Amino acid sequence: MLEARQVTRLFGQKAAVDHVSFRVEKPAFIGIIGRSGAGKSTFLRMMNRLTDATSGELLFEGRNILSLQGKSMRDWQGQCAMIFQQFNLVPRADVVSNVLHGTLARRGTLSTMFGFWPDDDTLKALAILDRLGIAEQAAKRAEALSGGQQQRVAIARALMQDPKIILADEPIASLDPMNAQLVMDTLRRIHDEDRRLIIANLHTLDTARRYCDRVIGMRDGRVVFDGTPDQLTTGVARDIYGADASFNESATSTSIDGLGRKGDDAYALAMLN
Ligand SMILES: Nc1ncnc2c1ncn2[C@@H]1O[C@H](COP(=O)(O)OP(=O)(O)OP(=O)(O)O)[C@@H](O)[C@H]1O
């Protein structure tokens, strides 16, 4: 359903993404890992057409989405929702309005400016919030919610687009372990129940191992690993992260038991990333 062929993005002389190729045959939950600067965000942003590629092709169901322009590009962005580390909600707007913003691509500017939402859309937004366990927050301002709740609102906004693909750029990097788990459980459930393709940039190995069907490791813009979580051994991880023999795998944990104390290994990894 998706094929990246030699996708490259140069910034000046530097290749942020360097001839990346892979195929996805059917909807899967894919994690992309790698240290800071490896090119993970740039790759996702090219998929969503927030950043242009320098060369290569990205075929989705046979169509090169990197060459789409105008309305067809916006239609593609409607099918390919994106979730960000910082949630990107409108803080002072209520939760349900934030979710309804997921319909902006297919609605007129005027009705949006004046906040006229069709009843059907409002009911759909409430149903999605209910599905994600946050319906009781619908009338609150987004800024009044916890980080984990805000990220679930962002997921609800993505679902409002009914996308074929959900791209998540470090969706749990700003969350405490408990909320991180809630958000990852939510994404996994959406994949399992709706069969949507999910590609998530993740900054910790244990999350990639626990939630993904397939993990792609990037280093210096290139794919240096592409396999199952089982194949992601400590040696492979060391290679992806470019760490030396002192690389300590426990340093990549965000598990509820293993995280959180400043000065411990888990904290050290956060710094590595
Ligand atoms: N707009 C830009 N202009 C110049 N260089 C850029 C730009 N965006 C990214 N880069 C560079 O491209 C490389 C890849 O960055 P990218 O953000 O994709 O990495 P990443 O793996 O997502 O890292 P992080 O997790 O820190 O976001 C880095 O060297 C970065 O400095």
Domain boundaries, the chain: 2-272
Q: How far is CA 98 from the centre of its chain?
A: 18
Fold classification of 2-272 (topology level)? Rossmann fold (3.40.50)
Ligand 1 proximity of 38 Cβ (cutoff 6 Å): yes
pTM: 0.88
pLDDT band at 103 (very low <50, low <70, confident <90, very high): confident
CA distance 175 to 219: 25
Out of 40, 50, 203, mutate this one to test ligand 1's pocket (max ligand atoms within 8 Å of CB): namely 40
Residues facing residue 58 across a β-bridge = 4
Ligand 1 proximity of 41 Cβ (cutoff 6 Å): yes
Name which residue sits closest to atom 10 of ligand 1, judged by CA: 16
Among 156, 162, 163, residue whose Cα is nearest residue 60 = 163
Q: Report pLDDT for 102.
A: 82
Contact 109, 79 (CB under 8 A): no
List the strands of the sheet with 2-11, edge to edge.
Answer: 14-24, 2-11, 55-60, 63-64
Q: Report pLDDT for 263.
A: 34
Q: Report pLDDT for 112.
A: 62
pLDDT band at 213 (very low <50, low <70, confident <90, very high): very high
Name which residue sits closest to atom 17 of ligand 1, judged by CA: 41
CA distance 93 to 114: 13
Ligand 1 proximity of 11 Cβ (cutoff 6 Å): yes
Among 151, 139, 154, 208, residue whose Cα is nearest residue 182 = 151
Which atom of ligand 1 is closest in space to residue 203's alpha carbon? 25
Ligand 1 centroid, distance to 11 Cα (angstroms):
9
Name which residue sits closest to atom 6 of ligand 1, judged by CA: 11
Of the candidate ranges 52-56, 156-160, 225-229, 251-255, the one whose mean pLDDT is the lowest: 251-255
Ligand 1 proximity of 17 Cβ (cutoff 6 Å): no
